[in-house]
Amino acid sequence: MEPQDSPGLTLNPERFRASGANVLHIANALVSSWEEIQQAIAPVIGARGVAALYERSLHLTRTQHPWMVAVSEPTKLEMNLPALKTLLLQQDCATAAAGGTAHMQKFYEVLSTLIGPSLSDGLLRFIWEKSTNGPTTLDNTSI
């Protein structure tokens, strides 16, 4: 499946800005989505499998978004979401949204090569649909 054919995640920074959101809201939305991805995918490939795909997709994303290299490689095989959030908070809204979106898109592509696009779509569809609706609240903990 070509990347443009996948359901994908698109965080629109203009939509966030129009609702009064800032980079903190984008970072919170991305971290929340990663937590949901982990919950959805771990029963299929295990928590370590999700972490391995997270790291692989992060590595692939760094070619187009070199600033993401600052996300530290964990010593244990786990998703380092606090490091990702810290890095996202250092970016402007558009950069954070573009890098975060690219990272999740790469994750989808890598996952699809392992379990197929149909199963990937089924497992991640609710996350993609929720993310494209933009922020639903402007608190500092979640979107």
Show me where the domains of the chain are located: 10-132
pLDDT at position 12: 55
The pLDDT tens digits of the residues spanning 89-107 come to: 999 988 998 899 899 999 9
User: Which residue, chain included where needed, has tokens 């639903």?
Assistant: 136
The pLDDT tens digits of the residues spanning 12-27 come to: 555 555 555 689 988 9
pLDDT at position 135: 42
* Residue pair 103/109 in contact by the 8 Å Cβ criterion: no
Q: Cα separation of 41 and 111, whole Å?
A: 9
Closest CA to 8 of 128, 98, 115: 128
pLDDT over 70, % of the chain: 70
At residue 10, the 3 state secondary structure works out as: coil
Residue 47: partners with Cβ closer than 8 Å, 6 or more residues away: 38, 78
Main-chain dihedrals φ then ψ at residue 19, nearest 5 degrees: -90, 5
Closest CA to 122 of 2, 7, 4: 7
